[in-house]
Structure 1
Amino acid sequence: MTRRVRRSELATPASNDRMFAKAAGSGADLVFLDLEDACAPAEREAARGKAARALRDLDWGRTTRAIRMNGVDTRWAHGDVIEVVTGAREALDVIIVPKVRTARDVWWVDVLLTQLEETLNLRKRIALEVLIEETEGLQNVAEIARSSDRLEAIIFGAGDFSAAQGAQVDTNFDPIVDYPGDIWHYARSRIVVAARAAGIDAIDAPFPNYRDPAAYRAAARQAAAMGYAGKWAIHPGQVGVANEVFAPTPEEIAHARRLVATYREAEAGGLGATGLDGILVDAAHLRLAENVTSRAELLGL
């Protein structure tokens, strides 16, 4: 599986080609051209060609290029995959599969991609990400996380999940009453545990209120604390915040490296634990520190 940076995943309507260049230059780690909810049904088929041309012709720099297809239970699903892959070829890195309910949904896309890659003689495999936005999907998330070796990330889709659960929330998917804590903590916890157990990334939900960067930052920091690798962005203005929040700071990197060095020195002396700044350091701390240093290495920090 390819290791990718996913601090920010920017959604862009595939039907609106005027937004493509701005998305490509946004600095997002991943941009997906959305053939699903961001496109009116009458525009979805025409948007496939626009997406393929943009993926192929624009300069995306280091940005991972993706699409969000329509759900496997819709009439657009097979056409989305066939037309965009045929048109974009190696210019498409990832397909995001929405409203995944069971592992079989992922299998369906995987098989179709395998057939296309062989038919088109593509040199690289296209990866998958999936959205958990149905209650059935959350119930099956552990099996979904291990459903395909193409699968690199699971995204929490709070909007549709709100509807699936029958939750009473506002347009930012926040509870309309004074709720104690995070109303989506259970869903977020199940998703990140399933993802980490399968060795893939978890990406946090979109935040529709793009005019409140402070609130977006707070939500991103909470997700990062839980182990999420990044967050969805619905506006280019959210990208910089996500990129900052989901990257370790220089101070965190320096402390992690000092902790590893201290532990290794103690280990060489036959000790299983030691002290650093007045705090006991053991093998569990080493694993936490190595999470920071490996992320820093992935980001080139």
Structure 2
Amino acid sequence: MTIRPQRLRRAQLAVPGSSEKMIRKAAASAADHVFLDLEDAVAPSEKAGARKKIVEAFNTLDWGRKTRCIRINDFTTKYAYRDIIEVVEGARENLDTIMLTKVKTPADILFADTLLNQLEQDIGLTKSIGLEALIEEVEGLQNVEAIAKASPRLECLIFGMGDFSASMGVLIKPDGKVGPYPGDVWHYSRFRLVMACRAAGIDPVDGPYADFRDPAGYTEEASRSLTLGCVGKWAIHPAQIDWALDVFTPNAGEVARARKLAAAYKEAEAQGLGAIQVDGTMVDVASIRMFGAILKQADLIGM
């Protein structure tokens, strides 16, 4: 059984790897996870310089308990392999995970895994660097189950609805809103990604919400993804960090009640009982499984 690092991913903050100012602010933010971007947010002429800025930032700034991640360019470009090599060799143990973009097949995961195996041996890293993968192409969603199980390094999948909408030909209006549709146009995609992640024992994460001046819209999308089983959502602007934390942080009262029920069941089980009643609620082994997600998140947060 693969034992992966347990990380908080309630708010994953996206930061251009070319902006030293934004990187410093990100290090001091309340985000659980920060990924310094080498892909869409960085112009081709700035990519080589951005790698150096990222290494410097990881090696010199205080990131607290945050997960430190880079988002690399996709493997159809000439930049991806150098993104991995230069940042891993430069940041070493100060890099936690690498986010792969436009993942279409398990081969993309295996390429990164093999390259990291060689790098870690060559430079004598004392830890294993994790992988995260964006599902943002039609082929990626078609292969999501195999992708999710492709490597023990893989820690999470992220649904990237922006590029996915382009890949699908979904109608996106000039204001960034999806055209008329009776329901959540992303329901199937999110649901399938979450199922693949849970079957593989990795984290499902929801992607970006473009309008950073719309807390109600962001919160609605985040709440939908939480209900389906996601553990967090991207923040493309610092304003969205608190919105994500609000949605994906369990209610303290619910956590306390879940712990009370779990403790009562554990005591009853020791006495040979399979089901008990606590304050009018029937509790059995299935109930304890249902509390699991809330209690795991609470434990990671330190609630």
**TM bin (shorter chain):** over 0.9
Does residue 228 of structure 1 match 2:239? no
Query: Match of 2:14, SS?
Result: strand
Map of 1:286 onto structure 2? 288
Query: What residue ranges of structure 2 are gaps of 5+ in the alignment?
Result: none
Q: TM-score, normalised by structure 1?
A: 0.96
Deviation at 1:240, TM superposition (A): 1.4
Q: Give the AA of the match of 2:209.
A: F
Deviations 1:50-99 (A, max 9, x none): 11111111111111111000011211011101111111111111100000
Deviation at 1:262, TM superposition (A): 3.2
Match of 1:254 among 253, 256, 273: 256
Match of 2:65 among 62, 65, 69: 62
Q: Give the AA of the match of 1:175.
A: V
Map of 2:160 onto structure 1? 157
Are the equivalent residues in 2 in contact too, given 1:174–1:183 (CA < 8 A)? no
Does residue 120 of structure 1 match 2:123? yes
Query: Match of 2:282, SS?
Result: strand
Q: Give the AA of the match of 1:113.
A: L
- The two structures, once aligned, show a CA RMSD in angstroms of 1.5
Tell me, in whole angstroms, the C-alpha distance in 2 between the residues paired with 1:167 and 1:68: 25
Query: What residue ranges of structure 1 are gaps of 5+ in the alignment?
Result: none
Match of 1:79 among 63, 79, 82: 82
Tell me, in whole angstroms, the C-alpha distance in 2 between the residues paired with 1:272 and 1:199: 27
Aligned length: 300
Tell me, in whole angstroms, the C-alpha distance in 1 between the residues paired with 2:175 and 2:14: 16
Map of 1:129 onto structure 2? 132
Q: Among the aligned pairs, what percent are the same residue?
A: 52
Are the equivalent residues in 2 in contact too, given 1:260–1:290 (CA < 8 A)? no
Are the equivalent residues in 2 in contact too, given 1:7–1:231 (CA < 8 A)? yes
Does residue 98 of structure 1 match 2:98? no
Deviations 1:146-203 (A, max 9, x none): 11111101000000000001100236764221x1111000000010010011111011
Query: Match of 1:194, SS?
Result: helix
Tell me, in whole angstroms, the C-alpha distance in 1 between the residues paired with 2:94 and 2:271: 51
Deviation at 1:255, TM superposition (A): 1.1
Deviation at 1:298, TM superposition (A): 1.4
Tell me, in whole angstroms, the C-alpha distance in 1 between the residues paired with 2:259 and 2:293: 11
Tell me, in whole angstroms, the C-alpha distance in 1 between the residues paired with 2:148 and 2:45: 32
Deviation at 1:265, TM superposition (A): 4.0
Tell me, in whole angstroms, the C-alpha distance in 1 between the residues paired with 2:86 and 2:188: 37
1:184-223 → structure 2 map (5 Å cutoff) = 184-223=186-225
Tell me, in whole angstroms, the C-alpha distance in 1 between the residues paired with 2:176 and 2:284: 40
Q: Which runs of 4+ in 1 moved over 6 A?
A: none
Q: TM-score, normalised by structure 2?
A: 0.95
